[in-house]
Structure 1
Amino acid sequence: MQLAINKAWQHQLLTYPNPAVGATVVLNNQVLSVSSHIKAGGPHAEVNAIKDAFIVLNPQSTLKTLTTSHDIHEFLIKNHNNIFIDCTIYVTLEPCNHIGKTPSCASLIKELNFKRVVIGTMDPNNDAAGGLKTLRDVNIQCEQSTLSSKTDDLLLPFIKWQQNKFVFFKLAMRKDGSIDGGYITTKESLTHVHKIRTLIDTLIIGGNTVRIDRPTLDTRFLEDSTINPDILIYSNDQNIDKSIPLFNIENREVTISNSLESINNKNFIMIEGGYNLLETLKDYVDVLMIFVSNKDCSKKEFNCESLGFKVIHTDLSKTDKIIWLKK
């Protein structure tokens, strides 16, 4: 289950409006595959993991050429030959029980005759819940993992999206805690952030940062991207140079305000800034996402936990470390 959790965190927020979910397929204590849901509308974590496991067991299979959920489901149901009958699948979230943009994962697992299913968190979405009952009704062994508190943390952004809105603060620092002096993280991390920017409703940034850094705040690291977020500049001073690049992005609304009232009807809000802005807006923040580079400027490290946040996951899969914290 921990492998599935780690994999899901690698795509946290990128699956909006869907939850980040990971899955692991195991046969005789051997891990066949670990995968996750990557983007909304694409195959769910279970489907990706089952596809990868099938290819491990059948290296010459044409399944590797299929990419859509419907095609993968159809292929597996026609060609599984009970290959998964002794397999266990670990999933961070109860397999979906409904047909939406993609087919039901619970139905697929049932059709493939998995021996055992271990889930992390029961699905809180009434439209998708009920997968475990579907599986138990055909005598598939179903259990809930002892790591459910970790899978609950993984689901936090999705829960907030469903309830009202989710606000997260993105902070980039060097390993010593310093945040000034130009680019801090790698292009890999910058690209990751640009992917998230294409999904958010509003990006909040402090007025001082805008005046000093003169940022663009676009998605230029993504090929052919034309989606750039609307901007709320949080500032008491309305006097900001309109020649700053962020004002010259097409199809973008830029607001300057010392109030956050304009985000009340928004669902997915990102704040980018430094320690001062974090301390100012900490009461509005659900999750803190910190990119930590290996660079060092010999300054004292900032303790975000002193602001009431606690670490819930550390992603070590990329060059820069990503630390996730919640209130």
Structure 2
Amino acid sequence: MVIIQRLLVAIGLSAAATAFTAPATHAQSTATKVENTVEIRCAFTMLRQSSDWYFPAGTPKALLWLQHGFASSNDAVDETARKFAAQGFLVFSPTLPTANIFGCTVENLANNTNFLHNVADLFGKSADPGDKLGRSFADAKKKAGRPDMALPNAKVFAGHSAAGEAVPYVTQVLRADYAAAFGSVRGLILFDPVKSFLGNNLSSSLNHLSNTTLPILAISAPPYSCNRDGNGTEELIEQISRPFRGVRLTSGSHIDVEASSAPAPDKVNCGTPQAKNVSALQTLAIAWAGDFVTGAPTADYYPGGTYYEAQRSAGTIQTLQ
């Protein structure tokens, strides 16, 4: 399991000798999108949720779970999902409910912990092709014309807004209940995470995960109403004591990860994503995710690296502190 401290040590040793390489999102290949459903338990019922799968051109380097935020859907992260797939990730992007009488929601509106355990169950049993995630994948790869593709063992989890809380919670459930599956998670990327009004899902999960070597990085916007004054990012900074925890987009919007896929109401309420911020977010996130999988840092995308320092000098990013 790669740890962020090791990444930074390696960066420090190699940064001076590493030539600048083009941002990861510039060299893209074709990705194929398939829409289907995935089953997730909800109390005594079974939800059949919309799920999007994005297939890379070749053998996937890892499975990337990309989860939308509160009051949204998988359509909102379509552009960023395509960017990840173009760089070799098999992307799984389900829609999770915003409202549900049994508390089966992406944000903790009452008590969604049982539901998040059921979401964790998808990944905890992902090695079983006959279980829920395996069945959804089998259907998707058939539709994509990729019948021989195997579901990658390596996993990277990424969540936006309220899913920036749900993703760490699910990861901690894997750690507690599905040791083998947790061992396959290479790292987390949180896109402007937001802490729920109720409960302590974010603080408790980050607190537990801080005792592991799992990389956890954020790309956040400045504090304002759409991210509840940056409460999720502040929780990350408080709970995760590591040399590098990610960046803040200095003129960013809460919905930068949605990019051109952002629905009109999101842009009205939270601000239209700027191209420079979208580019920085996608470039850094894809590079970091790739490094999580390989365990080898690409110096350009961390403090001291050419791309990173160019973005910082331009005023696009600040290092989270």
Same fold (TM over 0.5): no
Which structure is richer in relative contact order (CA contacts within 8 A, separation 6 or more)? 2
More helix by share: 2
More strand by share: 1
Give the alignment's TM-score, normalised by structure 1. 0.29
Give the alignment's TM-score, normalised by structure 2. 0.30
